[in-house]
A and B are shown apart, each in its own frame.
Chain A
Amino acid sequence: MSMLRRLRLPALPPRYRPLIKNIERRARLRGANRRLADALQQLSLGVPLNWGQVEDDPELETLADIDSAAQECRRAIAGSVPPELRSRLIERLAKGLPAPKPQQVKSRPKSLAGFSENVMVLTQVEEDVPSLISNAPQWIAATFAAGLVVTGALWLVANFFFPVYVPQYEWIEVRQGGRVVTQQKPKANVALASCAGFSLTSPDQPRTFVRLPDDRNQLRSSVGFPVEFLPRTLAISTTVSVTPTAQALTPSSAPTGPSTLITSIAGPLTETRTLTYSLMLTDMSVAPCIGDKPDPGDPGAVVKLAYIAQINTGRRSGISTPISFFQAREQPVFLDATNGTWKEGNVSGGHGVYWRGGPYRDVEGNAWIGDVSVLIVERNGIISTLVGQASQQVTEQMLLGLWTAMSNE
C-alpha cells in the first residue's frame, strides 16, 4: 500500500481536462440531458447539429428538424405590446395600490420624566419671585423707541395740521446759513434786466455807484422810478428804564410824526423820553445796470441816499450816525440773516423784514460791522433798504418811523 501511495498520475493532456465553465453550468446534467443541453447551446450560437450528433439520438434528430421553424418563429413575432393592453393592465393594477404612506412628522419631544401635561399645575407662590436679571437695558431701549415713535407722530401731526409759516415776498430773499428761509412770490410777466458785467440774481455782487450833484430833481430824472427821500426830522417817544443797573431802551410805543410828542407815564421805575432825529442828506448816487451812466430807461438802476442822523435825547446831544437808504425797482434784494434776529412785518402798505445783527454788506459792497439794523420793505415793486448802526440809536423803531414818515409825506 505504501508503494501504491507513492505513485502519481501523469499530467493529462488539455483535451481530457474537464471544462470548469461547463461543470459550473450543468454539473447536474448527465447523459442524454447533457447532450440535449449542449445541442441547444450549439443551436443558439447558430451552429447546426451534425450527423454524428443526431445519428443515435432521435430527440436531437427531431430538434435539428424543427430548428428552422423555430428560427422563423423567433424572427416573425416580436414583443411589441398593444398600448390598450398596457393601459388597461396599469389601470387595473393601480386600483389595488395601497394608499401612499403619509410623510413621517417629527414627534414632539416628550416631557421630562415625572411631568405630565394632563395634570394642571396651579401657580405657586414661589413663582412670583422677582427676576434676578436686570431688565434696565430693555426698558431703556423700549422707552427710547417709544419716544421716537411719539416724536415722529407729533411731527407728522404738526406738519399736517399746523404747517410752518414761511414769509413770502416778491423781491426780498432772506437767507440763513446759505439756506433761503423765505418764499418767492411768483412774479408774472417780469423779466430781470441783463446788466453789463454782473447778474441781478447774484447776492454778493457789489454795485458801482455814480455820484450825482446835490440836486434832487436831477436824481429823479436820472432813474425810471419815483425816488423818495427821508424826512428831515423824526421824533420818537420811548419808555426808558431808570433802574441803576439797566439803561437799555425798551421800545414800547409807536412812532409819531415830526411834530407829535407823546408822553406817557409807565411807572415809578420807568421814564418816557422823546428822541428827536435830525437827518441830513449828504450824498446821492445811482448804480446803473446797463451802461456806465445813469439812464432813466435803465430797469436795473439802484439809488443810494446817504444820510447823517443827529440824535437828540433831550439831555445830551451830539450823537451822529450814518444811515444809507437804497431804492430799486423790481429787482431781487438779498439779506443774509445768519447772525442776528429777523422778523417779518407790514408797515404803511409795505411788506418787509427787519434784521438786527452783524456784519452786513450793503449793495455798494460796504461792510457794516457791529450791531447793524436793516429794514427792507417792498411796496408796489419799489424795494427800499435802510441801514444803520443799532448801537447808535438806529433802532427798529427809528427805521420804522422813518419809513412811515416818508410814506406819509
Chain B
Amino acid sequence: MQTATDRFHEQGKRRTPSYEQDRELAERVMDGDKEALIRLVDRHIGPVYKYLNRRLGPGNEALVGEVVEATFVEAFRRILPYARGQAALPMRLKLIRLANKHLAKRRRHMVKERSDGVQESEELATLRSEMAKLPMRQQAALSLALFEEMPPEEMAGALHTTTSGAMRQLRGALKRVGKRRHDEGFY
C-alpha cells in the first residue's frame, strides 16, 4: 500500500518555500549554528504547542511542555534528512507525528477531569471527556480535523497513514462519539 511518504517522494510537489527554509536552517544546524537552531525552533514550536494544548485542554500545561520538549529533541536527533533535503514530510507534520507518538507514551498522565476552575463551555467539556475515551489515533484524527482544520492529505501525513486511512480513523472516532452520545441520551 502506498503511504503518504511514498507519494511525497513520487510527486515532489511539497517542496514548498517553507520546506526549503527548513532545509537551509537544518543544514546550518548540522554545522553547529546556534542561531539557525533558534530560528528553527521558533518556526515550529508555536503550532506544535497549540495543537497539543487544544487537544489536551486546560490543566495539562505540564504535560504539553514535556511532550513538546521530547518531540523537538527527537526531531533534532533525526534532522539529517531535512538537512539533505531528503525528508518525506514537511517538518511541521513530522513534529505533529512525533508529538502524537510521545503523547501516546504519556497518556496515563493526561488530566481528564479538570478541577482548576478553568472556564469552558459544558459542550466543549463533554467533547473532551468523550475524546479522552477514544483510542489515541482516533483522538489525534479528531483533534486534527476539528481543532486544527487540517486537510485529509496533511492528516494522513501527521498520522503516518494514507488519506483513506486518516478518514477511516476520523469516521471511527465520530462513530464512537455518536454512539456514546446516543447511549447517554443526547439524541
Contact = CB atoms under 8 A, between A and B. Distances in A.
Whether chain B is bound by chain A comes out as yes
Interface in B56-93: 61, 65, 68-69, 72-73, 76-77
Interface of A: 25-26, 28-29, 32-33, 36-37, 40-41, 43-44, 58-63, 65-70, 72-74, 76-82, 85-86, 88-90, 92-94, 96-101
A68 B126 CA distance: 12
Interface in B14-37: 29-34, 37
Given A28-B163, A29-B167, A59-B178, A89 B69 contact: yes
B53 A79 contact: yes
B47 A58 contact: no
21 contacts: A29-B164, A36-B171, A43-B149, A58-B175, A59-B174, A60-B174, A62-B181, A63-B174, A65-B178, A65-B181, A66-B127, A69-B126, A69-B127, A74-B147, A77-B53, A86-B41, A89-B41, A89-B72, A90-B37, A93-B37, A96-B77
A61 to B, nearest CB: 7
B42 to A, nearest CB: 8
Given A79-B49, A92-B69, A97 B54 contact: no
B50 interface: yes
Given A28-B164, A92-B73, A93-B76, A100 B174 contact: no
B72 A93 contact: yes
Given A68-B123, A70-B147, A93-B37, 5 more contacts: A66-B123, A73-B124, A79-B53, A90-B38, A100-B32
Contacts of A70: 127, 146-147
A67 B123 CA distance: 10
Contacts of B177: 62, 66
B54 A77 contact: yes
Contacts of A62: 174-175, 177-178, 181
Minimum-distance CB pairs A-B, first 10: A79-B50, A62-B178, A70-B146, A33-B167, A100-B32, A59-B174, A79-B46, A69-B124, A69-B127, A69-B123
Contacts of B151: 25, 40-41
A358 B153 CA distance: 119
Contact of B164 (A33, A43, A74, A99): A33
Given A79-B46, A93-B41, A97-B32, A40 B152 contact: yes
Contacts of A61: 178
Contact of A26 (B76, B163, B170, B181): B163
B146 A67 contact: yes
Interface of B: 29-34, 37-38, 41-42, 45-47, 49-50, 53-54, 61, 65, 68-69, 72-73, 76-77, 120-121, 123-124, 126-127, 145-147, 149, 151-153, 162-164, 167-168, 170-171, 174-175, 177-178, 181, 186
B142 to A, nearest CB: 9
B173 to A, nearest CB: 9
Contact of A81 (B34, B46, B149): B46
Contacts, number: 135
B46 A97 contact: no
B167 A36 contact: yes
B146 A58 contact: no
B145 A73 contact: no
A98 B76 CA distance: 12
Contacts of A40: 145, 149, 151-152
B123 A26 contact: no
A69 B65 contact: no
A134 to B, nearest CB: 57
Given A44-B149, A62-B177, A86-B45, A36 B170 contact: yes
Contacts of A80: 46
B54 A74 contact: yes
A94 B37 contact: yes
A93 B73 contact: yes
B47 A79 contact: yes
Contacts of A92: 69, 73
A28 B121 contact: no
A26 B33 CA distance: 41
A65 B168 CA distance: 19
A85 B46 CA distance: 11
A256 B168 CA distance: 148
A187 B34 CA distance: 83
A82 to B, nearest CB: 7
B33 A100 contact: yes
Listed residue (A33, A63, A68, A81) with the most chain B CB atoms within 10 angstroms of its CB: A81
Contacts of B153: 25
A33 B47 CA distance: 27
A72 B146 CA distance: 11
Listed residue (A63, A88, A92, A96) with the most chain B CB atoms within 10 angstroms of its CB: A63
Contacts of B171: 32-33, 36, 59
